Structures are given as C-alpha cells and as structure tokens.
Amino acid sequence: MLNGENYNARDPELLKMAQEVRYYMDEFNKPGSNPEADKTSILKNLCEFVGDNVWIEKPFFCDYGKNISIGKNTFINFNCVFLDTNKIVIGENVLIAPSVQIYTATHPLKAVERINSNHKANEAPYRTLTKPVTIDDNF
C-alpha cells in the first residue's frame, strides 16, 4: 500500500487498524472542550509525528493516523478529513482551511481496470492504490 501498489482495502489487518484509530478520533472529537494538553496527547498517539504548537480544531477525521506527520506551528481548521492510506506530510507553519480533505487513496478511472471481478470473499471488489501527499513548510 505504501509503495503505491494495488492493495486490498478490506484486508483484515487494515480494517483492524482503522477500527483502533476510531478510539482516538472519538476521544479527540468528544463534545465539549478538552484541555489542549489532552488534545495534544491524543494527536501524538494518533499520528506518526506532531510538532510543537500544532492546533487542530475538531471535528477531525482520518483513516489510520499513523501515516500523518504535522510540523510545528501548523493550524488545521474545523471539519478536516485526511485519508492517510499513504503518507501525509504537512510541513511547519502551515494553515489549512475548514473542511479541507486530503486523500492519498485513488483508483483506476476506467471501470475495466478498477473492477476486480475475481475477488475473494475477504477482498474488495475494486482495485485501489495510494500516493503520498506533501505540503511544504510555510504554505
């Protein structure tokens, strides 16, 4: 998956990883206010890397979390979605607007290339692949 090759989106290991990250997203997105220290702790458990002074408004959603790196002094506004089936690297001093959606997942556009008609019971009936996304410092 991280090599940009076709992967099984219904792989049991991937489904388990996605389910486990829901705990951290639920904690982060809980109604009411969480002290900033709690939000930072949750983000550091969720993401591969979170720099100092990162601020993410809730709600925030992602697939796996562990493929996300966020540089220091970055602000991510309300209602953002990061589909991190591959690496999402956000540099330092980045400002991300409300409702931005960053997708690393993609698929062949032609149905004949996308449909996996010979899929097994635990496989997705379509082909999917991923590409990393990088947002440079100061963007």
Chain segment 104-127, per-residue pLDDT in tens: 999 989 999 899 888 888 889 998
30, 107, 119, 127: which one is catalytic? Answer: 107
Could you tell me the CA-to-CA distances from 114 to 25, 107, 108, 124, 127 in Å, in that order? 30, 6, 5, 11, 5
Q: What is the pTM of this model?
A: 0.90
119 classed as catalytic: no
pLDDT band of residue 38 (cuts 50, 70, 90) is confident
